[in-house]
Amino acid sequence: MTSLASDTDVARLPFKVRPQRGEGAASFITRLAQANHLPPAYLRKYLTEPPLHRGKPTWPRIAAAAGRDLTDLQLILNTVECKECGAPIQAKSMFGPKPLTCSRACRQKRYRKRYPASEWRREPCRICGKLMKMQIGQRRPLCSSACRRTAYLERQQRKQQVAEVSSNTEGDSPPACPICEGPLAPSTTKSRRRTCSQRCRQSAYRWRTTPPRPPRPPAPPRKPAPTPARTCEICEQPLPPGHGRSRRRTCSARCRQRAYRSSEEQRAQQAAPATTPSPVPLPGPAASPNTAGARADALAPARNEPLETPPCPVCSGPMPEGSRRSQRRTCSQRCRQKAYRRRKATQPR
- pLDDT tens digits for 2-40? 444 445 678 899 999 999 887 888 889 999 999 999 999
- CA separation for the pair 326, 199 (Å, rounded): 100
- The pLDDT score that the predictor gives to residue 2 is 44
- The pLDDT score that the predictor gives to residue 76 is 87
> What is the pTM (predicted TM-score) of this model?
0.31
Residue 153: φ, ψ to 5°: -65, -40
Q: Where is pLDDT greater, at 137 or 283? A: 137
- The pLDDT score that the predictor gives to residue 251 is 84
Average pLDDT over residues 287-314: 59
Look over the chain and give the mean of its residue pLDDT values, rounded to a whole number.
78
Least confident piece of the model among 188-197, 289-298, 327-336? 289-298
- The pLDDT score that the predictor gives to residue 4 is 47
Instruction: Answer for the pair 232, 255: CB distance below 8 angstroms, yes or no.
Output: yes
Beta-carbon neighbour count of residue 145 at 10 Å?
8
Least confident piece of the model among 9-18, 113-122, 232-241, 338-347? 113-122
pLDDT band at residue 313 using 50, 70 and 90 as cut-offs? confident
- The pLDDT score that the predictor gives to residue 322 is 64
- The pLDDT score that the predictor gives to residue 6 is 45
Angle subtended by helix axes 59-66 and 70-78, to nearest 10: 110
For residue range 84-109, list pLDDT tens digits in order.
888 888 766 656 677 888 889 999 99
- CA separation for the pair 259, 252 (Å, rounded): 11
65-68's contacts with Cβ under 8 Å and 24+ in sequence apart are 65/10, 65/11, 65/12, 65/13, 65/32, 66/13, 66/16, 66/17, 66/19, 66/28, 66/32, 67/4, 67/12, 67/13, 67/16, 68/4, 68/5, 68/16, 68/19
The contacts of residue 43 (CB under 8 Å, 6+ apart) are: 29, 32, 33, 36, 65
Average pLDDT over residues 135-162: 83
For residue range 231-273, list pLDDT tens digits in order.
888 888 888 776 555 677 888 888 888 888 888 888 888 887 6
